[in-house]
Amino acid sequence: MAAWAACSTCGAAIVASAFLPAFSVRLDGFVGAGSAQQSYTFDRTYTLVGYGTFGARALVAAGIALAALGAAGIVAARPTIPLAVVLVVALAASIATTIPRFTGFDHEGGVIGCSFDRGCGGAFLAPAIRDFRHDVLTSRREARQPGFELSEGYRAEQRTGWRIVEAVVHLVLAGAALALVVGDRRLAPAALALVLLAVVIAWTYASSARCGDGNGRLLGWLSAYLLGLAVVAAIGAFVRRRWWWGIGGFAGALLATPLVFVLELAGSCYYD
């Protein structure tokens, strides 16, 4: 009962966070060159509700879904199905708020180089960057100066609303995975299965990815996610006193982590 109430609370927290500043975008422009160059900075901050794109609405919908599933789990005779749906919703939201291919954020906080003509910002930030660039070029006083140019690339920063959503969906994901394994003894081997799947995906990435291949990098991130879930599943096996499955899951995740890391490096630009 308390766990389902917590799920609803987490969903409500996501919805509430949608009204807080979620991220900011910065573009840089300049006029002239050398010692006579004048530089300009343009910033805009968005909320998820105000942003209004499909990605932003999907995150808000995920919060609503978690709140509703929490209520459904309280009254459901067999909560396994609602719990599995919670896991899927939390996993999708966790990936969408973490993986740079989707978000467009640089977790180091630096300027991300890109070509405006080819599109910047990943799936989530691309509309914001495109619209903000158009607004700067058409509406800002600085842009009316002869010779004004916008520098290629952008800087994006996660704000309070985004950080809350990201933390909450990670928490719900771990809790749902743990609850599934604890609730069904037959899922004790899940940890080893997830470790094996992570290694297979990382091997696929290393074998097929090319420098700059977004799909390959997505596989690299997914393998890391699976290892994290494997550790959670191993904890669940221990809670259910399936000792050997728990030990095997932890040992498998521990041994697979450096292997997955090396395979990910092998498929990245590091060796190109």
SS3 per residue for 172-189: HHHHHHHHHHHHCHHHCC
Considering the entire predicted model, what is its pTM?
Answer: 0.80
For the chain of 272 residues, list the mean pLDDT of each consecutive stretch of 10.
86 95 91 81 93 92 93 79 88 84 70 76 86 89 85 88 93 87 80 81 64 56 80 85 84 81 57 39
Separation in Å, CA 183 to CA 177, 180, 233: 10, 5, 11
pLDDT at 107 (0 to 100): 60
Contact 29, 150 (CB under 8 A): yes
CA-based nearest residue to 198, from 249, 269, 245, 253: 253
pLDDT at 191 (0 to 100): 82
pLDDT at 272 (0 to 100): 39
What DSSP state is assigned to residue 1? Answer: -
Give the three-state DSSP class for 120: coil
Contact 11, 64 (CB under 8 A): yes
Location of structure tokens 């994290």: 228
